[in-house]
């Protein structure tokens, strides 16, 4: 989740409501963010970064009607970016591991399985202790800062960070356990 989540989400919604200028501003800001995103993850493949940025922007534009206004925009957009990057690696036969720092993708709404994923996440989140659940909800899903979350929950900023870390770790453990049980 980025600090610019509220602004980008507002631009996306304005664009969906027919404001072409807002949609263009959204794509421009998103392009800058995507260049940084891909540069950090594709060291040595800089020639492909601009192609991936353009492919991602096209996908965001063409799939914009699938965006759920109740969800975080950046999680949705960067899940598209992640899939574009993985597809690029696959086309080369390159294997890549997506780091846990990209956990925001877990909360993204993909048009094909977003409803099922949303229900599963809500069920998993409901199992967390309240401090962890609220800290993740506010920071990772709603896009609030740690300080804003601390003010809203009455926790210290340090406790918010710890709650998010522990909560995400618990969610990942439950997801892995579910994958193991399914096999």
Tally of CB atoms within 10 A around 28: 11
- How many independent structural domains does the chain possess? 2
Rg of the chain, C-alpha, whole Å: 17
What percent of the chain has pLDDT above 70?
A: 78
Residue 54: which CATH number? Answer: 1.10.1740.10
Q: Which residue has the higher pLDDT, 112 or 135?
A: 135
Q: pLDDT averaged over the chain?
A: 80
User: What is this structure's pTM?
Assistant: 0.52
The reply to whether 82 and 30 lie within a common domain is yes
Please indicate, yes or no, if residue 109 is contained in any of the structural domains.
Answer: no
Domain harbouring 170, CATH code: 1.10.10.10
14 Cβ contact list (under 8 Å, min separation 6): 22, 23
* Same structural domain, 92 and 144: no
The domain of 39 spans 5-104
pLDDT in tens, 54-98: 999 998 998 898 898 988 898 899 888 888 887 877 776 655 555
Return the DSSP state at 9: H
53 shares a domain with 128: no
Q: Which residues contact 13 (CB under 8 A, 6 or more apart)?
A: 69
């Amino acid at each position: 989740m980025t600090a610019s989540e509220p602004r980008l989400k507002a631009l996306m919604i304005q664009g969906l409501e027919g404001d072409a200028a807002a949609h263009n501003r959204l794509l421009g800001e998103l392009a800058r963010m995507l260049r940084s995103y891909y540069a950090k993850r594709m060291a040595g493949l800089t020639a492909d970064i601009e192609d991936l940025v353009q492919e991602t922007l096209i996908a965001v534009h063409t799939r914009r009607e699938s965006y759920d206004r109740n969800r975080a925009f950046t999680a949705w957009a960067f899940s598209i970016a992640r899939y574009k990057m993985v597809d690029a690696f696959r086309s080369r036969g390159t294997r890549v591991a997506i780091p846990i720092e990209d956990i925001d993708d877990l909360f993204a709404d993909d048009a094909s399985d977003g409803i099922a994923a949303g229900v599963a996440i809500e069920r998993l989140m409901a199992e967390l202790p309240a401090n962890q659940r609220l800290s993740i909800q506010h920071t990772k899903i709603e896009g609030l800062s740690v300080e804003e979350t601390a003010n809203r929950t009455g926790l210290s900023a340090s406790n918010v960070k710890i709650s998010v870390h522990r909560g995400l770790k618990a969610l990942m453990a439950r997801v892995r356990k579910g994958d193991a049980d399914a096999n």
